[in-house]
A and B are shown apart, each in its own frame.
Chain A
Amino acid sequence: MSHDEILKKYVANIEEACGEEKDIIIMLKHEGRDEALKKILGKVKVVRSLANIAYDADFEGKQMRIYRTGKILMKKLKDKREAEDILKKLLS
C-alpha cells in the first residue's frame, strides 16, 4: 500500500487549528480507528497516560496527544504536510 493509500485508509481529516500556535488536529476514520491507534501507539514513545482518555507521546522529537476517540493533536508543526509525513511513518 502506498503512503497516500495509507492516509486515505485511516485518516478522515487533517486540520490546521486556528489560533496562534501551529497545532494540527488529525481525525482518524471511525472505521479502522482501533487498528490505526494500535499502529500509532506501537511506534510512538508514550510519555504519560491522561485519565485513560489520551496519551502524551513523542515521535522523532515531535510531541503529540493521542486521544482514544481517534483524534490526535500534533503540536508546533510547520504545516499539514509535516503532519502527513509523520502519519505516513506511524501508519505504515
Chain B
Amino acid sequence: MQRCWPRRWKDLKGKIMFDPYEVRKDFPILEREINGYKLIYFDNAATSQKPKQVINAMKEFYEKYNANIHRGIHTLSQEASELYEDAHEEVAKFIGADGMEEVIFVKNTTEAINLVAYSWALNKLNEKDEVLTTLLEHHSNIVPWEILSRLRGFKVKYADINADGTLNYESLEQLMTEKTRIICVSHVSNVTGVINDVGRIAKLAHEQDAIIIVDGAQSVPHLPIDVKKFDVDFLTFSGHKMLGPTGIGVLYGKKELLEEMEPFLGGGSMIKSVRCQSPNGNCRIEWNDLPWKFEAGTPNICGGIGLAEAVKYLRRIGIENVHRHERQLTGYTLKRLEELEKVEFYGPRDASVKCGIIPFNVNGMNPHDVALMFDSFGIMIRSGYHCAEPLHRKLGIKGSARASFYIYNTKEEIDRFIEVLKRIEDVA
C-alpha cells in the first residue's frame, strides 16, 4: 500500500507519533480476505478491531495469571487482583478521573447507564421531576429512562435537533426547568458523528442543580476526554469500541455521587460484611469501598486487563492523533461523496464538528441492500436504525447505511469505498 496520505503525525521533535500504515500491522484481522477481496472494515462505530497487544495481554492473563481476584491470599489471586486494579487506574488516567474509586467496570455502556438509572434515579426521582435527553440518542440512553419513568412517574423530555443533525441548544435550554434533575446526552452521535458541547451542557445542568450523564460510547475511543475539565457527573463507555474486548465497559462517576448511591447489583465482592442479627431480623450489611461497591460477583477480569492494554495502546499513539486522523478521513470522504449523484448523506458537511461516522443512503435502494452490496466487495458497513430510531424519524428517513472509521483506516480504503459506491449507484 502506498504511504502517501494521510501524513504521519509527528511531535515537536519530529518523532513520528502515529502512522496508520504501521498501526495496521498490529491488527491481524486486516489481513483477511472477505468474498475474494481484502477486508475493509468501516463498521467501527459498532465495534473496533483488536490489536495483537490486546489479544496477547488477554492470552497472557489466562496462561500465567488466571485466578479470582480479591480475598484470595495465594500468589495468583494477588497478581490477578493487582492487574485488575491497575486496569482501573489506567482507565482513570485516560479520562482524567481522580483515581480508580471513580471508575467502575461494567459490561458495556448500556449497563453503565442502567446503573445510574437504578442506583441514582430510582431512589431520587418522583412524579414532580423531569429527565432531559435529546433526539440524537442511542436507544440505550432513552429506554432506561422511559422504563424508570413508568416506575417513578417522572417525565422524560427530548431536546430537538437542527436540520443538519446537530443538537439544537436553544431547544435544550428551553426544555430545562427547575424540575429537571438529570440531563442525559451523548457526547458523539452514533448516527451522524456530531460532537456535542458537553462542557456547555454540564454548565447548564449544574446551574439548575441537575446532574449530567454523558454517553461517551462514540467519543472516548476517538477524542481526548477530561471528565474534570468538562465537569461531567457520569460518563459511560464501552471497551469494545476502543480496541478492547467485548463484555467490558466503564462507568465514571464523581466520587461524592457514587458514595451516596445505593448499589445496583447485590452479591459477593460488593460488601464488607453481612451480619444476620436474629432469625427474624434483616441482615446488617456494610457496602464495600469504591469502586467494588458497584462490581458485584466475579467481574470480567480478563476483559478489564484487555481494556487497560487497549487504553495503553491509544495513549501510545496519542488520542489527539486518533482524532486528527479520523477528521482527515472524514473530510476526504465527505468531499468524495459529493461526486455521487444518487447518494444522500446526513449530518454536518464540516468534518471539524464531527467524528468519523457518515450515514448515507443510495436513492432507490434500501440501506440493507447497500450494506449487502458492500459486503460482496469485502467492505463491512452497517445498515438500519443503528439503535437510534427517533433520530431517523426526525431526519425523515427509513434507515441509513453507515460507514465509520478508526485508526487503521486509510485514504486508499476510502477511494475503494467510493469506487464500489459508484458501482452500487449504477445498479440502483
Contacts and interface: CB of A to CB of B under 8 A. Distances in A.
Given A51-B426, A69-B35, A19 B373 contact: no
Interface string B160-173: 00000000000000
A20 B398 contact: yes
Interface of A: 17-21, 23, 25, 50-51, 53-54, 65, 67-69, 71, 73, 75
A18 B384 CA distance: 5
B399 interface: yes
A19 B375 contact: no
Contacts of A54: 372-373, 376
A73 B377 CA distance: 17
Contact of A69 (B367, B375, B427): B375
B383 A17 contact: yes
A70 to B, nearest CB: 9
Contacts of A71: 372, 375
A53 B369 CA distance: 12
A89 B383 CA distance: 28
Interface in B14-39: 35
Given A19-B384, A21-B398, A53-B373, 12 more contacts: A18-B399, A19-B366, A19-B367, A19-B385, A19-B399, A25-B368, A53-B377, A54-B372, A65-B372, A67-B375, A69-B35, A73-B369
B373 A20 contact: no
B384 to A, nearest CB: 4
A18 B427 contact: no
A71 B426 CA distance: 20
B368 A23 contact: yes
Contacts of B383: 17, 19
Is the contact region of chain B dominated by helix, strand, or loop, or is it mixed? helix
A18 B373 contact: no
Is the contact region of chain A dominated by helix, strand, or loop, or is it mixed? loop
A20 B427 CA distance: 22
A56 B188 CA distance: 38
Nearest to B367: A19
Contacts of A67: 372, 375-376
B99 to A, nearest CB: 40
Contact of A68 (B367, B368, B376, B398): B376
A65 B384 CA distance: 17
B427 A51 contact: yes
Which of B368, B373, B389 has the most chain A CB atoms closer than 10 A to its own CB?
B368
A73 B384 CA distance: 13
A51 B423 contact: yes
B374 to A, nearest CB: 10
Contact of B369 (A18, A65, A68): A65
B136 to A, nearest CB: 18
B398 A73 contact: no
A19 B368 contact: yes
Nearest to A52: B376
Interface string B358-397: 0000000011110011011100000111000100000000
Nearest to A25: B368
**8 closest A-B pairs (Cβ-Cβ)?**
A19-B399, A20-B398, A18-B384, A53-B376, A50-B427, A18-B385, A17-B368, A19-B384
30 contacts: A17-B383, A18-B384, A18-B399, A19-B366, A19-B367, A19-B368, A19-B385, A19-B398, A19-B399, A20-B398, A21-B366, A21-B398, A23-B366, A25-B368, A50-B427, A51-B426, A51-B427, A53-B377, A54-B372, A54-B373, A65-B372, A68-B376, A69-B35, A69-B372, A69-B375, A71-B372, A71-B375, A73-B368, A73-B369, A73-B372
A25 B369 CA distance: 9
Contacts of A21: 366, 398
A1 B175 CA distance: 61
A45 to B, nearest CB: 19
A20 B366 CA distance: 10
A20 B367 CA distance: 11
Interface in B344-367: 366-367
Nearest to A53: B376
Contacts of A50: 427
A76 B427 CA distance: 20
B225 to A, nearest CB: 29
A32 B371 CA distance: 23
Contacts of B426: 51
